[in-house]
Amino acid sequence: MAYDYDYFVNEILRLTQIDLSSYKQNQMKRRIDAFIMRHNSKGYDDFVALVKRDKALLEEFVEYITINVSEFYRNPEQWKYLTEEVFPKLIERFGNRLTIWSAACSTGDEPYSLVMALSKYVPLSQIKVIATDLSDEIIEKAKIGMYGHKSVTSVPAEYKEKYFKKNGDFYQISDEIKRCVEFRKHNLLKDPFIKQCNLIVCRNVLIYFTEEAKDETFEKFFESLAKGGVLFIGSTEQILNYKTIGYVRKSNFFYEKPAD
């Protein structure tokens, strides 16, 4: 291709504020090259010129590179631990009105799962989850709350019956669950983090970051937690330097900021 990848990264940063240099290059470059070829562009410069003229294509590209893969209650055993071990302790420590941040929330499966899980202990009227993502289009899909069968497979039967309405081959999440979630656009690599969180959930996203970007993000999450707050990460992730940052590991995927 006529122009190199660094040129492309700089142009996309100017256009979207997405810093592709913070993502693992080989993995991201393969995805981007495939997307460019699929749209019959001759190279990076040609594609940049194209997305400058075509806003819809730029939005499609942003959605594509932000890697939105999600489902309700992904890894059910981890949600069981969250529901039975983490939530009761957080409620005891902070009360019913927890400050919960679902970071890189994708199509809403995760924040809606958090609301349902927490509803075991707290009335819906007292639950609020802040859900953030990089893509406007993905956030709009999350607000609609329509999901295929595969996405809701792991939802406990009582919640599927209570909070979903079957619509053909799809499942519509109820308005009472939707009202508990506030969606915001947010760039983990650029924007200020939410402060004094009791629980932060960010799962299976940072695996695409460089080691430097990953470490910086875990440190920022630590700063964002209230003392005694908990970070819940994905099954494909680990925080190798969690002790250096200051976390206490409660289980393989749950890290606490010490209360003292």
Task: Say whether both 44 and 90 belong to one domain.
Answer: no
Which candidate, 208, 189, 201, 260, places its Cα nearest to that of 234? 201
**Domain co-membership, 13 together with 108:** no
Condensed to tens digits (0 to 9), the pLDDT of residues 135-176 reads 888 898 899 898 888 889 999 999 999 999 987 778 999 999
Written as one letter, the residue type at 195 is K
pLDDT, tens digit (0-9, with 9 covering 90-100), for 191-240: 999 999 999 999 988 888 888 999 999 999 999 999 999 999 988 888 99
208: in domain: yes
Query: Distance (Å, rounded) from C-alpha 180 to C-alpha 182?
Result: 7
Task: Identify the domain boundary among 23, 45, 65.
Answer: 65
pLDDT in tens, 197-210: 999 999 988 888 88
Question: Does the residue 221 lie in any domain?
Answer: yes
Question: Which of 65, 84, 109 delimits the end of a domain?
Answer: 65
50, part of any domain: yes
pTM for the whole structure:
0.80
What is the mean pLDDT of the segment spanning 107-114?
95
Gap between the Cα atoms of 224 and 244, Å rounded = 16
* 33 and 94, same domain (yes or no): no
Question: pLDDT confidence of 115, banded at 50, 70, 90?
Answer: very high
Confidence of residue 124 (pLDDT cuts 50, 70, 90): very high
Whether residue 119 is predicted with pLDDT greater than 60 in this model: the reply is yes
- The residue from 65, 90, 115 where one domain ends is 65
The reply to whether 57 and 165 lie within a common domain is no
Q: Are residues 183 and 236 in the same domain?
A: yes
Given a contact cutoff of 8 angstroms between Cβ atoms, the answer to whether 250 and 64 are in contact is no
Angle at 133 between CA 148 and CA 202, to 5 degrees: 85
Burial class (CB in 10 A: 0-12, 13-18, 19+), 38: exposed
Residue 75 sits at φ, ψ, to 5 deg, of: 60, 75
Answer yes or no: is 59 within a domain: yes
Whether 48 and 87 map to the same domain: the answer is: no
Q: Helix, strand, coil: what percent of the chain each, to 5?
A: 50, 20, 35
* 60 and 95 fall within a common domain: no
Region 20-48: what's the mean pLDDT? 86
Does residue 5 carry a pLDDT above 80?
A: yes
Q: How many structural domains compose the chain?
A: 2
We report the CATH number of the domain holding residue 220 as: 3.40.50.150
Residues 27 and 151 in one domain: no
Structural domain of residue 44, as residue ranges? 5-65
Q: State whether 135 and 42 are in the same domain.
A: no
Are residue 197 and residue 232 in the same domain, yes or no? yes
pLDDT at 71: 82
Q: Are residues 56 and 112 in the same domain?
A: no
Q: Could you tell me if 140 and 250 lie in one domain?
A: yes
Please report whether residue 91 resides in a domain: yes
Q: With respect to residue 71, please indicate whether it lies within any of the assigned structural domains.
A: no
* Average pLDDT in the chain: 91
pLDDT at 68 over 90: no
203 within domain boundaries: yes
> Does some domain include residue 132?
yes
